[in-house]
């Protein structure tokens, strides 16, 4: 079996054209390079170079094996890089969790950029509206949407605040008109939430304004509420961040009282200073902040356009 250092010497001579050039590239003397190439040829039972006064020229076998040797070189470099990353704590997996809406709009777009910066960190994403138990190890880092977080031993940092309002689709507004006041909600189809969603402040407030009204449809995730409203099934609550930026939606209310949401990044106390977790948090917080600002700017532009169309009688009333 051949020695890796013999293979390095072979590649250096192949690239430099002589043992002298290879010795300079490797930082060793010329005799050592020549000895290592000879040792490799003996181990393989092949002649790799034709040697002459002008230098060393690859044989047919040498040319063929150079490509394979370069694959070994790349693998060795990757091995060394990975080992160094582990030593720095910048390799391994981070198990992330978020609901689908946050994952799709704020988290997943940033994951690709983070991976370009830290290719040795594997990001495992669990999308669920259920709040995973970080203290039990179900996830390492969570992005959670909530007004406040209950007390625990977890470390939490607020990333963004966002209000909720009611929305309907343009198609629905054309057919039925948009609600003109909270009291008018009793005259409209309402998109409700299943057991997991019914207690959300925006959902609860909407049905409090329309006592006795049965939902036209039920969704068990906020993402599906957005799609149900966009499909024209009725009026439903969603974050203004999402609703205002969607040109196919019409806002039907002012921001809902007591339905201010927030995005928090949460991790276990013992993980917060782990290098890869620290790097992810330090990266994703400003990324989410910039994403929120981008959505807000887009939302303002879309609402201004909707207001112009409303003034022209193109869509239903919008608060």
CATH of the domain at 38: 1.10.10.10
Q: How far apart are the C-alpha atoms of 53 and 39, rounded to whole Å? A: 21
Provide Rg for the chain, Cα atoms. Answer: 31
Side-chain-facing half-sphere of 130: CA atoms under 13 Å: 6
Q: How far is CA 124 from CA 24, 141, 143, in A?
A: 45, 10, 13
Q: How far apart are the C-alpha atoms of 188 and 180, rounded to whole Å? A: 11
Total structural domains within the chain: 2
61/170 same-domain check: no
75/125 same-domain check: no
Extract the tokens encoding 220: 């068990």
Query: Does the global pTM surpass 0.85?
Result: no
129/146 same-domain check: yes
48/169 same-domain check: no
| CATH number for 211 | 3.40.190.290
134/192 same-domain check: yes
126/178 same-domain check: yes
14/157 same-domain check: no
- Decide which of 67, 88, 109 is a domain's last residue: 88
Chain-wide mean pLDDT for the chain?
Answer: 86
Q: What pLDDT is recorded for position 96? A: 93
Residues 48/37, Cβ–Cβ less than 8 Å: yes
189/282 same-domain check: yes
158/64 same-domain check: no
Give the domain range for residue 291: 89-319
Extract the tokens encoding 52: 């002459």
Per-residue b/e over 230-248, b at no fewer than 16 CB within 10 Å? bebbbbbbbbbbbbbbbee
Indicate the pLDDT class of residue 133, thresholds 50, 70 and 90: confident
- Decide which of 88, 119, 154 is a domain's last residue: 88
Side-chain-facing half-sphere of 89: CA atoms under 13 Å: 10
User: What would the pLDDT profile of 251-309 be if each residue is shown by its tens digit?
Assistant: 999 998 877 778 889 998 888 888 889 999 999 999 999 988 888 888 888 878 767 77
Q: At residue 70, what are phi and psi to the nearest 5 degrees?
A: -70, -30
61/157 same-domain check: no
**178 vs 80: which has the higher pLDDT:** 178
170/209 same-domain check: yes
Percent share of the chain, pLDDT over 90: 35
222/95 same-domain check: yes
- Decide which of 53, 88, 123 is a domain's last residue: 88
From the list 227, 240, 226, 228, the residue with the least C-alpha distance to 302 is 240
Q: How far is CA 227 from CA 192, 221, 223, 246, 312, in A?
A: 12, 10, 6, 11, 27
């Amino acid at each position: 079996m051949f020695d890796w250092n013999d293979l390095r010497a072979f590649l250096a001579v192949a690239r430099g054209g002589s043992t002298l050039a290879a010795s300079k590239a490797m930082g060793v003397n010329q005799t050592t390079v020549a000895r290592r190439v000879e040792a490799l040829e003996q181990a393989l039972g092949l002649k790799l170079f034709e040697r002459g006064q002008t230098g060393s020229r690859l044989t047919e076998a040498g040319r063929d094996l150079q490509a394979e040797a370069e694959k070994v070189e790349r693998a060795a470099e990757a091995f060394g890089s990975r080992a160094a990353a582990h030593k720095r704590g910048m390799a391994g997996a981070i198990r992330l969790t978020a609901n689908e809406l946050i994952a799709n709009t704020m988290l997943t777009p940033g994951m690709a950029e983070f991976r370009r910066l830290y290719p040795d960190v594997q990001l495992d994403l669990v999308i669920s509206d259920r709040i995973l138990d970080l203290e039990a190890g179900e996830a390492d880092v969570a992005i959670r949407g909530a007004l406040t977080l209950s007390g625990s031993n977890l470390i939490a940092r607020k990333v963004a605040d966002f209000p909720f309002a009611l929305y309907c689709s343009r198609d629905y507004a054309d057919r039925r008109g948009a609600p003109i006041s909270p009291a008018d909600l009793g005259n409209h189809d309402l998109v409700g939430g299943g057991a997991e969603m019914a207690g959300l402040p925006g959902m609860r407030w909407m049905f409090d304004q329309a006592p006795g009204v049965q939902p036209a449809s039920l969704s068990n995730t906020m993402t599906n509420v957005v799609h149900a409203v966009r499909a024209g099934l009725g009026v439903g609550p969603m974050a203004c961040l999402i609703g205002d930026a969607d040109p196919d939606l019409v806002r039907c209310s002012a921001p809902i009282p007591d339905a201010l949401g927030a995005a928090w990044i949460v991790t276990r106390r013992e993980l917060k200073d782990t290098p890869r977790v620290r790097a992810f948090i330090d990266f994703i917080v400003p990324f989410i902040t910039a994403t929120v600002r981008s959505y807000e700017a887009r939302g303002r532009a879309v609402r201004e356009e909707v207001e112009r169309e409303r003034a022209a009688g193109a869509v239903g009333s919008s608060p």
